[in-house]
Amino acid sequence: MAETTFTVPDLASFLGLDSLGLTATGMRIDGGSALVECRLQALEEDAFCRVCGAQGVAVGTVSRHLAHVPVGWRPTHLLVRLRRWRCQGCERVWRQDCSRAAAKRAVLTRAAVDWAIRAVGVEFMSVSRVAAALGVSWDTEGDAILERAKDRLINDPGRLKGVEVIGVDEHAWRHTRKGDRYVTVIIDLTPVRDRTGPSRLLDMIEGRSKQVFKQWLQDQSETWRKGVQVVAMDGFTGFKTAAAQALPDATEVMDPFHVVALAGDKLDECRRRTQRETTGRRGRKEDPLYKARRLLRTGAGLVGDSGWERLEQLFADPQNTPVEAAWAAHQKIMAAYRAKTPAQGKTRMEKVMQTLKTGVPDALEELKSLGKTLVQRRDDILAYFDHPGTSNGPTEAVNAPPGTPTRHRPRIQKPGQLHHPQPHPRRRLQTTATTPLNRKSHVCAPGGV
């Protein structure tokens, strides 16, 4: 390791309090959360009345509780002690100004707002997860973050330079009784494609509609629009229409993450329908189908021996045949994105589409509907394989080749070869490789894992 110089450990610089104008004076860590007591760095400048200019006398302190950037997954809050002053001339009372640390009435520090914007807009964390990490209720703060995101982005006009690949997606921003409110998030995926860095947030706009996205595209310069080669998006057709109209020369790519999610949702639908049809009610926790709901959506390579046994038992019941078919389709779609080369992936995906288009009996309504969507978006789905790395979602994390920055590396293990279904009735599921004899015996042992 290169020569390293250490400085004295310092909580304030570790937590980035300097930039907020704060110093740490104490801390309390209990269980899942940390509270850091702070005061303002500058004590004197506020001591004079802004109205009459007379000197104030200190009359106690007030505290402000702010959520700060979490350390790890532990919500980290600040208790900022502010001095109160009373003017000797006009009796006005005021407190120290901590606007550098947080906006008026805000619950989050400015640093926490920046963290949240990045977490939601670029790192694809769900809004509720971000709120949980910060240790705040989202409803109070979501809108403030949106405002701040706008401010920050508008102050950075250079952000649009050199953009060739963009991703567009929607986030449920706030759940209200009247329905959810959405924001459309536009990010720059050029550095991801070129493997030069992480994606960058370009803009956040309230609402999600064809019109919102189209208007945004039209507000950009013509030169900029001409520079955009690829638009990655989810299954929402409004975005597609907007992109086709405003960026006629760009290639639209449907994001792998959303394609896989679509197949997974159809699998869930099919499982629930099968449950209803076989038992006449919704799944309960003791029902095998219900119990297997997560296992069914797990990629083949991540299923352990006991998982395979459970799947085998489940699919041995002829009533569950529709679920097996939906499961196989979902697995094949995932496998296509995990193929060794884009060309192989493309061939596999074309095969899946062909099967779903022609080889599905009417009774398998979920697969029919999946096939219909895939065929409708065929070009956009296949375009991904010609433009690898143009993904919005976490799939880029699933698919990224070695050498990509860590944040784009697989978070889950790469699965092995899918099993090939064999004809009924003496069918056995092939596990990924030949299972060593010693492991077989342990699986068969009573109470085995």
User: What are the tokens at 221?
Assistant: 């310069």
State the greatest distance between any 2 C-alpha atoms of the chain, in Å, as a whole number. Answer: 95
Overall residue count recorded for the chain in this entry: 449
Q: Please report how close the Cβ of residue 47 comes to Zn ion at its closest, in angstroms.
A: 12
51 scored as a contact of Zn ion (CB under 5 A): yes
Q: Please report how close the Cβ of residue 93 comes to Zn ion at its closest, in angstroms.
A: 10
145 scored as a contact of Zn ion (CB under 5 A): no
Q: Are strands 165-176 and 230-233 parallel, antiparallel or unpaired?
A: parallel
87 scored as a contact of Zn ion (CB under 5 A): yes
56 scored as a contact of Zn ion (CB under 5 A): no
90 scored as a contact of Zn ion (CB under 5 A): yes
89 scored as a contact of Zn ion (CB under 5 A): yes
- Binders of Zn ion among residues 416 to 435 (CB under 5 A) are none
Q: Please report how close the Cβ of residue 91 comes to Zn ion at its closest, in angstroms.
A: 7
Give me the DSSP letters along 199-225: -EEEEEEES-SHHHHHHHHHHS-HHHH
Q: Please report how close the Cβ of residue 170 comes to Zn ion at its closest, in angstroms.
A: 51
Number of chain positions touching Zn ion (CB under 5 A): 8
User: What are the tokens at 241?
Assistant: 């229409």
Residue range at the interface with Zn ion (CB under 5 A); choices 84-92, 173-181, 326-334, 366-374: 84-92
Shorter beta-carbon distance to Zn ion: residue 81 or 92: 92
Q: Please report how close the Cβ of residue 92 comes to Zn ion at its closest, in angstroms.
A: 5
Q: CB pairs under 8 A, 24+ apart, for 289-292?
A: 289/314, 289/320, 289/323
46 scored as a contact of Zn ion (CB under 5 A): no
From 262, 260, 252, select the one nearest 387 (Cα to Cα): 252
Residue range at the interface with Zn ion (CB under 5 A); choices 43-51, 73-81, 184-192, 419-427: 43-51
Q: Please report how close the Cβ of residue 44 comes to Zn ion at its closest, in angstroms.
A: 17
Task: Please tell me the distance from the alpha carbon of residue 392 to that of residue 232, in angstroms, as a whole number.
Answer: 6
Backbone angles phi, psi at 174, to 5 degrees: -155, 135
**Conformational region of residue 53, where left means phi above 0, alpha means psi within -120 to 50, and beta covers everything else:** left
Pick from 29, 42, 43, 52: which binds Zn ion (CB under 5 A)? 52
Q: Give me the residues that bind Zn ion (CB under 5 A), please.
A: 49, 51-52, 54, 87, 89-90, 92
